[in-house]
Chains A and B, each alone.
Chain A
Amino acid sequence: ETGVTQTPRHLVMGMTNKKSLKCEQHLGHNAMYWYKQSAKKPLELMFVYNFKEQTENNSVPSRFSPECPNSSHLFLHLHTLQPEDSALYLCASSLTTTDTQYFGPGTRLTVL
């Protein structure tokens, strides 16, 4: 099921750049999530939004700024990132926060 889309799929940015990742779900879900997947590390939950309200910030540095304008769209605004922020950023959605999460294809981010 390709109900969760993410753009761009690949992004290369310098440490002084500002960029945004976009996630859109077409499943009618009410909860959306950002995860970070670094090499050799388990998936890390970053943020949770439920009915457009942020309900979880897992001690994420302020250089990552999420935005959820509606239940179908989720953004991750990036600024002054560090090379160690290079990772695969995955978006997911679920009908409610207790339901199965469905993931997008991810954005492969490289910070130079």
Chain B
Amino acid sequence: AQKVTQAQTEISVVEKEDVTLDCVYETRDTTYYLFWYKQPPSGELVFLIRRNSFDEQNEISGRYSWNFQKSTSSFNFTITASQVVDSAVYFCALSQVSNDYKLSFGAGTTVTVRA
């Protein structure tokens, strides 16, 4: 079985605040990949990051950072010093060998950054 849970439906912050998006996944596979995508109002899903299950190093890219913890099956995403342009729906996704690497998406978290 595989499942991705994004418990936060909506988050609203004021510009320059940090925001953390939670993602919890379920899998029985030892080989899997985790993803984050951003969907701005225009509709396109923009790829942000992919991590494999054997690499637990946290990653930072500009104002974005990701915390992967296998012990808690979590892959959380933090936006530091948020900006209005960060307003979007953010999706966490899982792909795994046993499901032919098809993407299984969470329900998404809507982030609204107010000026």
A97 to B100, CA, bound (A): 8
| Chain B, interface SS category | loop
List residues of B (23-77) whose CB comes within 8 Å of A's CBs.
35, 37, 42-47, 50
Minimum distance in angstroms from B101 CB to a CB of chain A: 5
Known: A88-B43, A103-B37, A106-B44. A43 touches B101 (CB 8 A): no
Interface residue range, chain B: 10 to 19
A106 to B42, CA, bound (A): 9
Instruction: Identify the closest chain B residue to A101 (Cβ).
Output: B103
List residues of B (67-115) whose CB comes within 8 Å of A's CBs.
91, 95, 100-103, 105-108
Instruction: Identify the closest chain B residue to A102 (Cβ).
Output: B47
Instruction: Identify the closest chain A residue to B108 (Cβ).
Output: A42
| A45: B residues at CB distance < 8 A | 102-103
| B95: A residues at CB distance < 8 A | 98
Q: Is the CB of B50 within 8 A of A42?
A: no
| A108: B residues at CB distance < 8 A | 43
A residues apposed to B, CB below 8 Å: 42-43, 45, 48, 55-56, 88, 90, 92, 97-98, 100-106, 108
What would 8 more interface pairs be, CB under 8 Å, given A88-B43, A105-B42?
A43-B91, A43-B105, A92-B45, A103-B37, A103-B45, A103-B47, A105-B43, A106-B44
